[in-house]
A and B are shown apart, each in its own frame.
Chain A
Amino acid sequence: MLVDSPPEPSAETAPAPPNRRAIRAVGLVVSLAILVLVALASIAIGAKELSLEQVWHGLFDDTGTYGDVVVGERISRTLLGLLAGAALGLAGAVLQALTRNPLADPGLLGINAGASAAVVTAITYFGVTSLTGYVWFGFVGAAAVGALVWFLGGSRGATPVRLALAGTAISAALYGYLQAVMIMDHAALSKMRFWTVGSLASATDETIVQVLPFLAVGTVVALLLARPLNAMAMGDDTARALGANLNRTRALSMAAATVLCGAATAACGPIVFVGLMVPHVVRSFTGPDMRWILPYATVLSPVLLLGADVVGRIVARPAELQVGIVTAILGGPVFIFLVRRRRTAQL
C-alpha cells in the first residue's frame, strides 16, 4: 500500500541514467551469487572437517551417516544465519534512515540488549522455554528500549553522540541486570553465558520455523518503506510537502526494526555491528537511494554474518569463536573509522 502512495520522491523525477541502474541491478545479482557461495562455504567448512564428497552426499543424498548429520546441522545453522543477518542489516539500514544517524545500529542503540534482558527474564522467571513464547518478550524488550533510547537521546534533536551514549548507557544497565540474574542463579549462568555473546551454533529447524513468520513480515514492511524513507531523508518539511505520512512512516519503521531485531536476538542472541557496517558499505556504491540500499543490505548482511561465522569456526579449531564476537571484532575498527571521518561528526 505504501508503494502506491501518489507523490514520487526525487529519484523518480530525475531518474538515474539507465546504465547506472543496470549496473546496480547486475551488482545485486552478483551479490546474490556471493551470498550463495558464502552459504555453501558455511555448509562445507566447520570444526569437523568433511570432504567435498561427504558434503555433497549430505546435501543431496541424505542417508543418515555421520557426515550427513553434520551437514544437516550446518544447513539449519546457515539458514538461521541468512535470516538473522538479513534482519539485522535491514534493521540497521532502516534505523540509520529513520534517525538520520550514520552510527545507528541495533546493537549500539541498546535494542538487542533490551531484547536479551526480556528474553532472559522470560526464561528465568516466567519459565518460558519455547522460542515462540519468548520471542514476544524479545519484541517488548526491543521496543521498550528503542523508545527509551530515542527519548533519552533527545528525540528530534538527537545527535549521533547523544543517541549512541543513551544506547550504551541503557545497555550497560541491562547487562548489569543480566549479571545479577546470572549471579543468583547458576543454572541461568550455565545456559545464558553462551547465548549472551550471540551465536548461531544452537540453530535447529524448529528455531527457524518459529522465527520465520516474524522475520518475513518485518522484511516485507521494511522493504516497502524505501520510498517514504527516501522522502524523509530530505527533511520533515519537504517530505510532508511531497505527501509522505511522517508519523506512519516513523511508526512503521520503528515497528519493522523492532520485530526484526527482537526476532533475530531471540533466535541467536545479541549481535552488534552487522546493522552498522553493511548499510555503510552498501551506501558507498548505491548512493542514498533507499530503494537500492534496502535490497542490497538484505543480501549482503547475511554474507557478512555467515562469513564471520565461518571465520569463527576456522580460527579457534577445534573449538569455535561465536559469531557475535567475530562481528564485534570486525565491526569495532569499522565503527572507529567512521567516527574518525570528518563528515560523520557533522551529520
Chain B
Amino acid sequence: MKTQVMSKSAVRNRAVRTPGGLSVRLDVRAFTVVVLLLVAALTASVVLIGTGDFPIPAADVLRTLAGNGDAGQEFIVNELRLPRVLVGLLVGASLGLGGALFQSISRNPLGSPDVLGLSQGATAGALVVIVLFSGSADQVALGALVAGLVTGLAIYLLAWKRGVHGYRLVLVGIGVSAVVTAVNGYLITKADLVDAGRAVVWMTGSLNGRDWTQVWPLLIMCAILVPLVLGNARALRMIEMGDDVSYALGVRVERVRMLLLVSAVLLTAGATAAAGPVSFVALTAPQLARRLTRSPGPNLVPSICMGATLLIVADWASQRAFGADQLPVGVVTGVLGGVYLLWLLVTERKAGRI
C-alpha cells in the first residue's frame, strides 16, 4: 500500500535539478493540464477568428496571422477579430486568476468576485456613465474600473476587524452585492429604453466590438499583476493551512492577503471594465482547473489558462449557436455557471458532504 502511494507520487511529482544545485518540484499532471489548456485556448482562438459573417478557414487565419494573408483577410483578422479574441483571452485569464485568489482567500468554492459584489459594483459604475451621462465606451470602462475598485475597498474595510477573515469577507460581500444590485435595478428603471437595452447588454458581458484600445491596458495590467501574484503563490498556499500555522511558517499573513486581495480586485475590475461582468468565469474556472489537476492549493496557473479557454470557447459557442453578435458571451457563461452549480450540488451530495 505504502509503496503504491509512493510510486504514484513519484510519477506525479518530479524534481527538476539544475547543474547549479537548484531544484524545483514539478507536478507532472498539473503541467500537462496547463499545456493542454494552452493548446485548447489557442486552437479555439484560431477557430473564433475564422468565425463570423465572413468565415475564414483556419489555414488562412494562420497564414494571415503570420503576415502572408491577402489585404481583405488581413483587415478582418488583424483589425476586427484578433483584438476581440485577445481581449477575450486576457479577460478570461484575469477573471480566472481573480476568482482563484478570492476562492482561496475566502476558503469557499462559491466565494468568487461575481458572488461577492465586485462585479455588481463595477456594473454600477458603468450604469451611472451609461444612464446618467450617456457616455462613450471608454468612459463606461473607466466608470466600471473606478467603481469596481471602490467596491473592493469598501468590502475590505467593512470586513476588517483586527484582520480579515474568510467568512466575514464573504458575508459582507453578499450584503454589499444585494445593495448594489438594487441600485443597478433603479438605474435601469431611470434610463430610456435605448440606454436600458445598452445597459443590459453591458451587464451581461460581451466581447462585441472590442478593439486594440482595450487590449493594451489589459495586457499591461496582466503583465504586472500576474508575476506579482504568482510570486506570492507559495505564501497563499500556506495561508490555506490556517493563519496560525502560516504565521509559524514565516508568512506575513495579513500583508500577503491584502496584496493578493488588491491584485484580485484590480484583475476583476480591469476585466469587467473591458468586457462587462462576464458571469461565472471567475467562479467556475478555478474549480474546473482544480478538478483537472487534482492537486491541492490555489492552482493559480491552471486557473488562468482555464479562464482564458472557457471565455473563448463560450464566445465561439454563443456565435455558433445564436449567429454572429446576437447574444453576448455572458449569456453562455451564465448558463455554464448554472450547470456548474447543479453539478456541484450532485457531486457534493454523492460525496456525502451534504
| A interface residues (Cβ-Cβ under 8 A, vs B) | 103, 107-108, 148, 151-155, 157, 160-162, 164-166, 168-170, 172-173, 175-177, 179-180, 182-184, 186, 189-190, 193-194, 196-198, 272-273, 321-322, 324-325, 327-329, 331-332, 335-336, 339-340, 345
- Cα distance A332–B182 in the bound complex, in angstroms: 10
Q: Closest CB of chain B to A152's CB: distance in Å? A: 5
28 A/B residue pairs, CB under 8 Å, sorted by A: A151-B345, A152-B344, A154-B348, A155-B354, A162-B108, A165-B108, A165-B111, A165-B115, A173-B334, A175-B181, A176-B338, A179-B204, A180-B204, A180-B327, A183-B200, A183-B204, A197-B186, A197-B189, A321-B186, A322-B189, A324-B185, A325-B186, A329-B179, A329-B183, A332-B175, A332-B176, A339-B171, A339-B175
Q: Is the CB of B196 within 8 A of A164?
A: no
Within 8 A of A (CB), among B296-328: 327-328
For A273, give the chain B residue with the smallest CB separation.
B178
State A107–B200 Cα separation when bound (angstroms).
22
Q: Which B residues from 147 to 181 make CB contacts under 8 A with A? A: 158, 161, 167-168, 170-172, 174-179, 181
B353 located at the interface, meaning its Cβ lies under 8 Å from any Cβ of chain A in the complex: yes
A168→B115 contact, CB < 8 A: yes
Known: A169-B115, A169-B283, A186-B197. 12 other contacts (CB 8 A): A155-B354, A162-B108, A173-B338, A179-B204, A189-B196, A193-B196, A325-B183, A325-B186, A332-B178, A335-B174, A340-B161, A340-B172
Contact of B185 among A172, A193, A327 (CB under 8 A): A193
Nearest B residue to A160, CB-CB: B171
Q: Decide: B175 and A176 in contact? CB cutoff 8 A.
A: no
Residue of B nearest to A193 (CB): B188
**In B196-225, which residues have CB < 8 Å from any A CB?**
196-197, 200-201, 203-204
Main secondary structure of the interface of B (DSSP, over half): helix
Cβ-defined contact, B179 with A332, below 8 A: yes
* Interface hits, B43-77 → A, CB 8 Å: none
Q: Is the beta-carbon distance between A173 and B280 smaller than 8 angstroms? A: yes
Q: How far is the CA of A169 from the CA of B277 in the complex (A)?
A: 14
Across the interface, do B179 and A328 meet the contact criterion of CB distance under 8 Å? yes
Residues in B lying within 8 Å of A, measured CB to CB: 108, 110-111, 114-115, 158, 161, 167-168, 170-172, 174-179, 181-183, 185-186, 188-189, 193, 196-197, 200-201, 203-204, 279-280, 283, 327-328, 330-331, 334-335, 337-338, 341, 344-345, 348-349, 353-354
Closest 9 CB pairs of A and B: A176-B334, A328-B182, A332-B179, A197-B185, A165-B110, A335-B175, A173-B338, A339-B171, A325-B182
A338 to chain B, nearest CB (A): 9
Q: Which residues of A contact B196 (CB under 8 A)?
A: 189-190, 193
Residues of B within 8 A of A107 (CB): 178
Shortest beta-carbon distance from B342 to chain A in Å: 8
CB distance from A197 to the nearest CB of B (A): 4
**Given known A-B contacts A151-B349, A340-B161, A184 and B327 have beta carbons under 8 A apart:** yes
Query: Chain B contacts of A194 at CB under 8 A?
Result: 189
A331 close to B178 (CB less than 8 A): yes
Residue of B185, B196, B197, B345 with highest tally of chain A CB at under 10 A: B185
| A244 CB to nearest B CB, Å | 24
Q: Which residues of A contact B280 (CB under 8 A)?
A: 172-173, 176
B178–A151 touching, CB < 8 Å: no
Q: Is the CB of A170 within 8 A of B354?
A: no
Chain B residues with CB below 8 A from A328, complex form: 178-179, 181-183
Q: Shortest distance in angstroms between A250's beta carbon and chain B's nearest beta carbon?
A: 16
Q: If the complex has contacts A164-B170, A183-B327, are A189 and B200 also in contact, measured as CB distance less than 8 A?
A: yes
Contact in complex: A154, B338 (CB < 8 Å): no
Residue of chain B at shortest CB distance from A329: B179
The answer to whether B204 and A152 have CB atoms under 8 Å apart is no
With a cutoff of 8 Å between Cβ atoms, the chain B residues found around residue A160 in the complex are 167, 171
Partner of B334, one of A162, A165, A177: A177
A165-B331 contact given A179-B200, A332-B176, A335-B175, CB 8 Å threshold = no
Closest to B117 in A: A168
Among B172, B175, B327, B334, the most chain A Cβ lie within 10 Å of the Cβ of B175
A183 lies within 8 A of B185 (CB): no
Please determine whether B203 and A179 come into contact, CB atoms closer than 8 angstroms. yes
By a CB distance below 8 angstroms, the chain A residues around B354 are 151-155, 157
* Inter-chain contact B178/A193, CB cutoff 8 Å: no
Name the residue of chain B whose CB is nearest to the CB of A159.
B167
Q: How far is the CB of A209 from chain B (nearest CB, A)?
A: 27
CB of B220 to closest CB in A, whole Å:
30
Provided the pairs A154-B353, A176-B330, A183-B201 are in contact, do residues A108 and B178 lie with their beta carbons within 8 angstroms?
Answer: yes
Bound: A150/B226 CA distance, A? 37
